Structure 1
């Protein structure tokens, strides 16, 4: 986004304000109008980070525990720019992205439900919405309203996935009264099995979407001391069973022993001007052999895979299936738990058997994608799950030698999606085909710090992030590496990334007192 665009957006927003006769008491719709103008008061540091929280009456959800956390953690941050940034981003999802919440609890069977958007589209991505609320989970035990909000997202995702486990994004339920986001192209997609367009916003199948649902479910359950009191367990069980059964099916190879096509459970074809928007093989994806891993059609970026075994997504799946099995055991679902554990073991074996490669410079590394035939894609994408994030996901320890080799590859020009312009202090990190060349995702910089124990690397990463907001005090999807002041960016605010960076700053304050 250029400075000219910012000026135009500011003029548009001021016109809205003038039409209401107020400069501070209206709620811009969408928040995007608010997010592209720097609001006072500004931080006292050289970056002059603005105050980007919407007015109190315009916030979509308020948590007393989160407000207390902002005050407590901010008081331990000496740097005024980072302190202001943290105050903007920790509550960003609550401030801007809770499109609908039904608190429930009026009767024994009245469960909470929540619909969480990523930004300016009334659609809920399973992966994004889970990651947006997970950093707030530590505060849920002392805030019953926040606990109900997160349980509501588990219930909403379970309802969606039980009905159709193949989608990456869903429309709001009719009972919410929300107007669904536009997705006319979905009517033209060829998808097998066909989706209900009243339910599904986009039907790109991504295994990390199901892994995110598992992670949100089990993380909430553990945070609530193994309680499922607010969960609609009957619907949740249906969603989990459908998901696990589907994942087992998707271990199957493309061809049987007689070289005939096996029954492909998933298929996605879209007429588009970008190859990342559709799938190879008439929608089936490129051929695979059985490895124990689970195939996918799309990456967490919503871009199509080249080879269907996406290693970092399988790694996340293995971790979350084991956690899921523990929760299932506690709820008496031992058969599904056993299947989940077995699947996790087969995936893990498949990753080490087929998902690593010998690199001439870095040694044994994890590949990004493989097919079981010997083809390997050596790269990384900024979207989580990524290879860089493997310790963050819980798949390996950060000191694991294969991971360390992979990390050196990922954070170097040998990764075709690592970008830097060579100038110290400017944003450098992993980008994505989703946003094109020479665009770094701040999320990747945060993950680099979250998987590091090097104090200098961590503090440098946090300072790069603070300087990457284009003077707007919010994290973006991507920033061009030649944009010295960060004004050339995509997405004015990216709630998922704001959450990840707030998680990073919180961890630094706790584990490295005084570093910031």
Structure 2
């Protein structure tokens, strides 16, 4: 069975070697031919030229040229629904739209949308598509292009949950509803365009609030349950599909993590942080764009409630006595410390604007996550970083390196090491993968993973502004 866990790249026999990095003739563009690209933006093409001219290292420059436009080149399907733009954005090697992935995949082009009408139509279409998906089922994480079709994902065919036509997979993850808010808010801020924020969008926003409140579980377990027959316990929820027990403390339950792995304890702290931040962004958007005071007040009230619960229940102490942000808690006093590479994570909270990067509590947490205190951190002969149970031990997700790059963008030495490891982890493909073996990056999962490619492009775009001298050096 091919799924997100086992999908392997096609270049497994290739090794990432310094000799390859030194051979500029090997750096032939891996982009589709212009006629085969799914979406073309002149502004993005100009940005590729601009940023590439600032990158001295030939391999890094080649990877940026492949990765930055990958979402537009390969994953966007434009259409029209009810006379308005529609955009369906697949993850890459899986023909389905994840609310999280699709939002993150288009993020690196936001700063160009104001000057590019084609990009604005893409964002308008995706915001509208996501609103329709949320109204179809706010508990689903992934959707099909055809709202009347039934899932063809082999691993989801027999799930015991309320599967509806149009739903590809129905794993309840808090961040699935946070990312569309973040996309809508940041698109509005970047462009000033209010076109997408119609009555349908407002209805979807209210559905998000309703779902978050249901999953505070103050009056029982709520309507969501999920069971899957699998030999992996991370693929299903215990206790008849409702998940592990908890106390109603004001935090929002999550059945699954952004990795699509089941939570050990149901209050996933990084995702609750993300919910607080995006709910406040929703409040600002609803008030300014729709003059919807009730929606804005409801979003702000929920954000304040969850924030208060995070302050009371969201921390723990490590064995050495350091106070850190917990990864998951249950409200009974139980907590676990770890970090997973998928975003939101503890390591990504500053990138997500959930904490101040100088906050001592977060700095201690991020340092612990990037150490042996985190069971899913590892260091190999080629790469070190954070993985997670989704792929297995001794595998590093390049995404974790990218998040570290954003968090330590004032430290050239750390950045140079991160860029070197990212360059050495591509297995000569020119792309960023889901996970790589820490000692042999030729063993990797997912050779077409647009979210990771976009994040890599976003990082280099960021460094071209904040660390231009670093990019002008050879690795």
- 1:102 aligns with 79
1:208-239 deviation line (CA, Å, top 9, x unaligned): 000011111111111121x222x161211111
Q: Superposition pairs for residues 419-430 of structure 1, below 5 Å? A: 419-421=378-380, 423=381, 426-430=382-386
Separation in structure 2 between the aligned mates of residue 78 and residue 202 of structure 1, nearest angstrom: 43
Shift of 1:50: 4.2
- 1:31 aligns with none
- 1:327 aligns with 285
Shift of 1:187: 3.9
| Pair 1:388-2:353 in alignment | no
Separation in structure 2 between the aligned mates of residue 71 and residue 79 of structure 1, nearest angstrom: 15
1:110-147 deviation line (CA, Å, top 9, x unaligned): 22110000112221000001000011111111110111
- 1:6 aligns with 11
Shift of 1:188: 1.9
- 1:161 aligns with 134
Separation in structure 1 between the aligned mates of residue 184 and residue 12 of structure 2, nearest angstrom: 43
1:173-230 deviation line (CA, Å, top 9, x unaligned): 259xxx8762244342121xx231x2100011001000011111111111121x222x
| Pair 1:492-2:469 in alignment | no
Distance 1:103 1:140, change over 3 A: farther
Q: Write out the 4+ residue segments of structure 1 that deviate beyond 4 Å after TM superposition.
A: 1-5, 42-50
1:141–1:223 Cα contact (<8 Å) kept? yes
What secondary structure does 2:184 align onto?
helix
Q: Superposition pairs for residues 368-447 of structure 1, below 5 Å? A: 368-421=327-380, 423=381, 426-447=382-403
| Pair 1:286-2:238 in alignment | no
Separation in structure 1 between the aligned mates of residue 263 and residue 12 of structure 2, nearest angstrom: 38
Distance 1:82 1:185, change over 3 A: closer
What secondary structure does 2:209 align onto?
helix
Separation in structure 2 between the aligned mates of residue 315 and residue 83 of structure 1, nearest angstrom: 35
2:221–2:242 Cα contact (<8 Å) kept? no
1:50–1:473 Cα contact (<8 Å) kept? no
What secondary structure does 1:246 align onto?
helix
Shift of 1:292: 1.8
Of 205-214 and 51-60, deviating more is 51-60
1:165–1:243 Cα contact (<8 Å) kept? yes
Task: State the TM-score, normalized to the length of structure 2.
Answer: 0.92
**Please, which of 51, 54, 76 is the counterpart of residue 73 of structure 1?**
51
Separation in structure 1 between the aligned mates of residue 268 and residue 378 of structure 2, nearest angstrom: 22
Distance 1:2 1:301, change over 3 A: closer
Separation in structure 2 between the aligned mates of residue 313 and residue 4 of structure 1, nearest angstrom: 29
1:236-270 deviation line (CA, Å, top 9, x unaligned): 111111110110121124xx6xxxxx242211111
Separation in structure 1 between the aligned mates of residue 8 and residue 268 of structure 2, nearest angstrom: 38
2:376–2:388 Cα contact (<8 Å) kept? yes
- 2:462 aligns with 507
- 2:228 aligns with 270
| Pair 1:84-2:62 in alignment | yes
- 1:61 aligns with 39
- 1:219 aligns with 186
Rg larger for: 1
Separation in structure 1 between the aligned mates of residue 231 and residue 335 of structure 2, nearest angstrom: 26
- 1:125 aligns with 98
Shift of 1:157: 0.5
1:43–1:84 Cα contact (<8 Å) kept? no
Task: State the TM-score, normalized to the length of structure 1.
Answer: 0.85
1:377-432 deviation line (CA, Å, top 9, x unaligned): 100000000000010111111111111111111000110000112x3xx2100001
1:118–1:125 Cα contact (<8 Å) kept? yes
Shift of 1:511: 0.6
Structure 2 portions without partners, runs of 5+:
1-5
What secondary structure does 1:408 align onto?
helix
Q: Superposition pairs for residues 439-478 of structure 1, below 5 Å? A: 439-452=395-408, 453-478=410-435
Name which structure has the greater RCO, CA cutoff 8 Å, separation 6+: 2
1:51-89 deviation line (CA, Å, top 9, x unaligned): 211111111111100000000111111111111111111
Shift of 1:6: 3.3
Shift of 1:362: 6.0
1:441-467 deviation line (CA, Å, top 9, x unaligned): 000000011011312111211121011
- 2:305 aligns with 346
| Pair 1:233-2:198 in alignment | yes
Aligned Cα RMSD in Å?
A: 2.3
What secondary structure does 1:392 align onto?
coil
- 2:217 aligns with 252
Distance 1:380 1:49, change over 3 A: farther
What secondary structure does 1:273 align onto?
coil
* Alignment size in residue pairs: 461
Distance 1:7 1:244, change over 3 A: closer
Distance 1:455 1:110, change over 3 A: same
Separation in structure 1 between the aligned mates of residue 248 and residue 8 of structure 2, nearest angstrom: 51
Separation in structure 2 between the aligned mates of residue 174 and residue 267 of structure 1, nearest angstrom: 22
Separation in structure 2 between the aligned mates of residue 355 and residue 281 of structure 1, nearest angstrom: 24
2:91–2:101 Cα contact (<8 Å) kept? yes
